[in-house]
Amino acid sequence: MRPVRSELRSRIFLAALAVTTVALLFVTLTMVGGIEPGARLRLVLVAAVALALSGVVAAVVSRAIAASVAARAAAIVEVARRYAQGELARPHADYGDDELGVAARAMDTAVQELGRRLNELRRDRARMEAILGSMVEGVLVVDEEGKVQLVNEAARRMLRLEQDALGRAYVEAIRHPGIVEQLDRARDGRQPDGLEFAPARDPGRTLVARVAPVVAAGRGAVLVLHDITDLKRADQVRRDFVANVSHELRTPLTAIKGYAEALIDEPDDAEARQRFLEIIHRHSTRMERLVKDLLRLARLDAGQEVLELAACDVENVVGGIIGDFEQTIAAKSLDVASRVAPEARTLVADPSKLHDVLRNLIENAVNYTPDRGGIEVEAALVDGAYQIVVRDTGPGIPPEDLGRVFERFYRVDKSRGRPGGTGLGLAIVRHLVELMAGEVRVENRASGGAMFTVRLPTRRPE
Ligand code: ADP
């Protein structure tokens, strides 16, 4: 280690002091009279020896002081080097109590304070990144130089940004001209008006982009993206539903009104009156059923139907339903068979909901299966669940409609829809099965005909 400057300075100072003292002594003695020359010489010698000794002592002391100062300075430099490398843990260095120590401690405190603030900043950043990362909305921040300063995962996904988008100019990173224009507007101090768009590579989705200037960051801007695909879809479903309800109600209402007017016009024709009254009755029954189904769906939607579990005798339930359709079954010469496996006799479920599910499925099978067709209802325990299958030998469901028959008012073929049907039966079935924590699916049998499978959890009786 090179001697520090203070050591050099102290040596020069000592040398100068010695030379000055000898010179002064010599001048003084020359000027003082009355002292014999021999005594003057001795005096000079004694003074010179004393001076030399004090010089040696001063040099040793100053060297020791300089060495200690140099060691402390080296320790301070080492601490500063560690700080510079980002190691901010407080060192156990002894800085001493002199000015050097005071200055070193002041530096240390300043660095520690800076380190604390840096840690706070890091924590804030980590917190912000966690929040942004968990957001469903896409967020992208542009700094005053027009570079992407921050982007969360949702925004990357929605805009399909490259991995290196961060730090790049937004005009290059974002390939959607509409969004770039919105950001331009915000950065130029013009009011961005929001943008609804479908991403080029995912046209089925609808996104809304909103941009706001970030005043604190000069010409910065923040872009927020909302995925409103589900909202749009729900809105469309609601509109279709209202249109369907109106249509379904209008058809029987028009008939009722027409035949009622005919009755008013020709009150005396007994035969016609009977026929008209029957038609009015049929249509009003259909309207009543439609309203009942709609109210039930509304109750299910609102979660107002509670589950009341009890042990159900499935064979009884199926037998009762088949009995209800006895007349139609006989009229169409249908071959209806039900098989309940011995271990599946009892099922813990909501009896009335189970009844409604099976009634809907069996009624459809009866209605859509042509004369002399066959219907099978089977219940068994399969793969740890209670499984009920209703299959028929009817026309089945076209493959492209399989995924939609559980939708409200969805009918494979309007003209094929049975006269009394509302198009809501399967929607209610799915709701009820899901309420019982089960699932329902439909497929076509290889030999022709539809096959509905209901799977329900097996519960222990309370
Ligand atoms: P609907 O009151 O019209 O029967 P559903 O919701 O019960 O209404 O059924 C929806 C549609 O699914 C029916 O219109 C029909 O096209 C089709 N469907 C239901 N069950 C069967 C089946 N067993 N065979 C053929 N098609 C069926």
pLDDT at residue 4, as a whole number: 47
305 closest CA partner among 263, 340, 353: 353
pLDDT at residue 268, as a whole number: 83
Q: Which atom of ligand 1 lies closest to the CA of 412?
A: 16
Q: Residue 238: pLDDT above 70?
A: yes
Residue in the block written with tokens 């539809």: 450
What SS3 class is residue 308? coil
**Ligand 1 atom 11 nearest Cα:** 411
Q: Measure CA 127 to chain center.
A: 15
**What does the block give as tokens for 96?**
């001493």
pLDDT at residue 154, as a whole number: 94
Q: Are 93 and 75 in contact (CB under 8 A)?
A: yes
Mutate to test the pocket of ligand 1, among 368, 392, 442 (most ligand atoms within 8 A of CB): 368
Q: Residue 335: pLDDT above 90?
A: yes
CA of 386 to the centre of ligand 1 (A): 24
Q: Which atom of ligand 1 lies closest to the CA of 423?
A: 8
pLDDT at residue 434, as a whole number: 96
Task: State how far the Cα of 123 lies from the Cα of 127, in Å rounded to an integer.
Answer: 6
**Tens-digit pLDDT profile for residues 187-211:** 988 888 889 999 878 888 999 999 9
Q: What are phi and psi of 279, to 5 degrees?
A: -65, -45
Q: Check if 373 has its Cβ closer than 6 Å to any atom of ligand 1.
A: no
Bridge partners, 452 (sequence order): 390, 442
Q: Are 217 and 206 in contact (CB under 8 A)?
A: no
Q: Residue 150: pLDDT above 60?
A: yes
Q: How many other CB atoms sit within 10 Å of the CB of residue 296? A: 18
Q: What is the mean pLDDT of the chain?
A: 88
**Tens-digit pLDDT profile for residues 423-459:** 899 999 999 999 999 999 999 999 989 999 999 999 7
Q: Which atom of ligand 1 lies closest to the CA of 449?
A: 24
pTM for the model:
0.63
351 closest CA partner among 312, 401, 399: 312
**Ligand 1 atom 19 nearest Cα:** 364
DSSP secondary structure letters along 90-130: PP-----SSHHHHHHHHHHHHHHHHHHHHHHHHHHHHHHHH
Q: Are 321 and 365 in contact (CB under 8 A)?
A: no
**Tens-digit pLDDT profile for residues 95-138:** 778 888 888 888 888 888 988 999 999 999 999 889 999 999 99
pLDDT at residue 9, as a whole number: 67
pLDDT at residue 417, as a whole number: 55
Task: State how far the Cα of 151 lies from the Cα of 224, in Å rounded to an integer.
Answer: 10
**Ligand 1 atom 7 nearest Cα:** 425
Q: Which atom of ligand 1 lies closest to the CA of 427?
A: 6
Task: State how far the Cα of 459 lies from the Cα of 385, in Å rounded to an integer.
Answer: 9
Confidence of residue 155 (pLDDT cuts 50, 70, 90): very high
Bridge partners, 142 (sequence order): 148, 221
Q: Check if 368 has its Cβ closer than 6 Å to any atom of ligand 1.
A: yes
**Tens-digit pLDDT profile for residues 282-310:** 999 999 999 999 999 999 999 999 999 99
Q: Are 317 and 351 in contact (CB under 8 A)?
A: yes
Q: Are 247 and 262 in contact (CB under 8 A)?
A: no
Q: Residue 49: pLDDT above 90?
A: no
**Tens-digit pLDDT profile for residues 377-417:** 999 999 999 999 999 999 999 999 999 999 998 888 766 55
Confidence of residue 1 (pLDDT cuts 50, 70, 90): very low
Amino acid at 293: D
Query: Any idea which of 21-35, 267-281, 383-397, 432-446 has the lowest mean pLDDT?
Result: 21-35
Order of strands across the sheet that contains 439-444: 335-340, 374-382, 385-392, 450-457, 439-444
Residues 427, 428, 433, 437, CA torsion sign: positive
Mean pLDDT value of segment 197-226? 89
